[in-house]
Structure 1
């Protein structure tokens, strides 16, 4: 499970509900500050079991580089509403159309970034309509289904959700996982307040969202060739270790896309939380390079 360092938004950021043609979505919107010139806007999509809070560490350093960042809870994630039991509402195309509506509601072309599951949803949105986007960054998000070991973990979770409540599954996960460990392998030990926030996020996420998106992660086809035909700049960013998609697979995907490739040393599956300054620097450098004046 993704574990953000804190649930408190950074200074200057605003949490609100973004109204779109497909409903309202909870967002954290961080404008540029300190007199920085606005260079662009980025829409950030979280991963499986994650939320908009996963991007808190990136907002301030990206604001200093001139980028407004809008992190969103997808349909059924944490503070964005969605059906509790209807898995069809979370079909990948439905989630992708939500992303297009979010981009439209922001009223400006955006740099799109998706982490893990969010990367595959972002890819699906771009394949439906690339016109709202200036670029696509796939962060720790691979070309097809997740690794066999992660598929087994998802299967265990889906089996548990079939017979237990969300609260019961949470208690079982806490009993099985030592407090100092995270799924990313990061050396983080959340305090009591953050533990309660993590529990609140888990209980706020709709079971049908977890069931549907967990299945998607296990059966996602390779759509890299389709994506490579889209006329956008691409960026593949990951940590130096990743057990969800092997780093070598991400290297190969970047080559197939003709994408910029960034490997963040000292990070694993969540470079946004584990090495946020290096991650923000790589993102801003990429976005800067896509500006018209920077293109050959």
Structure 2
């Protein structure tokens, strides 16, 4: 059995439980850098199989630009608790209400909301419920509707395996299939293989089943979102197997959003190219007058 290592928060950041009206959520919280004028607060949501650690490499450059960044494990993700067998607890509407509660608990006024992949679709649902807690919305490698056919097949393989195997056995199967970052949290740049295994084992299977289904059935809600009075930002790498980049281009047009493509990045720009990703995020937030 391999040893289980834990993630270390980036310099200046604090890992703690954020207490909200809907329960406690594990966060990594980094303030603006010492000597830098604070400009605002960002709430960062990870993708499928991911966690708050997916944003580890963004904290320092965002702090240097004056932004407090709070990355969160959603309900049933890694270090945030959740029901063991109740998939209804992980319905998209429930997860969206969690986001509203997290933003309120930060007690920082409207926050910049950022969602990676699945996290982007949960952020979208939250903004559609109530946009008042948010100053802006950035969708990172997160598309307008369901994921690509090839990734739907990969997700189905994963969830089918979880129904007949232990989580530890499925982890070994994931490694045999290829990099686990393809449909969610990146496996590059944020920890070693033992830490990633620990994270995987921390996920509640019910959360994975429910959110996998969401990824494969999500309708196109871009027209609804475009009616929300927020500044939008669509950010991606130059290549993405989960949602083709052309779909993200079109979504940005429909949202009248700022569009950023990060050279050298794929589905996880936050891990693949963190410095240009952080610059793009902070530049967008600066433009909103925060």
Task: Please give the TM-score of this superposition, normalised by the length of structure 1.
Answer: 0.92
Pick aligned residue for 2:280 from 279, 282, 285: 282
Give 1:189 shift: 6.9
1:3: which partner in 2? none
Closer/same/farther in 2, CA of residues 190 and 271 from structure 1, 3 Å limit: closer
1:1-296 equivalences under 5 Å are: 7-108=7-108, 109-177=110-178, 181=179, 183-184=181-182, 194-291=192-289
Query: More deviation in 7-16 or 51-60?
Result: 7-16
For residues 25-60 of structure 1, give each alpha carbon's deviation from its aligned partner in whole angstroms, at most 9, with x where no partner exists: 000000011300000000000000000000000000
For residues 204-259 of structure 1, give each alpha carbon's deviation from its aligned partner in whole angstroms, at most 9, with x where no partner exists: 00000000000000000000000000000000000000000000000000000000
Point out 4+ residue stretches in structure 1 off by more than 4 angstroms: 187-191
Q: Distance in 2 between matches of 1:189 and 1:234?
A: 27
Q: Distance in 1 between matches of 2:223 and 2:214?
A: 19
Mapped contact 1:22–1:101 kept (Cα < 8 A): yes
Structure 1: give runs of 5+ residues left out of the alignment: 1-5
Q: Distance in 2 between matches of 1:217 and 1:86?
A: 18
Closer/same/farther in 2, CA of residues 184 and 175 from structure 1, 3 Å limit: closer
Q: Distance in 1 between matches of 2:207 and 2:74?
A: 9
For residues 272-294 of structure 1, give each alpha carbon's deviation from its aligned partner in whole angstroms, at most 9, with x where no partner exists: 000000000000000000016xx
**CA RMSD of the aligned region, Å?**
1.8
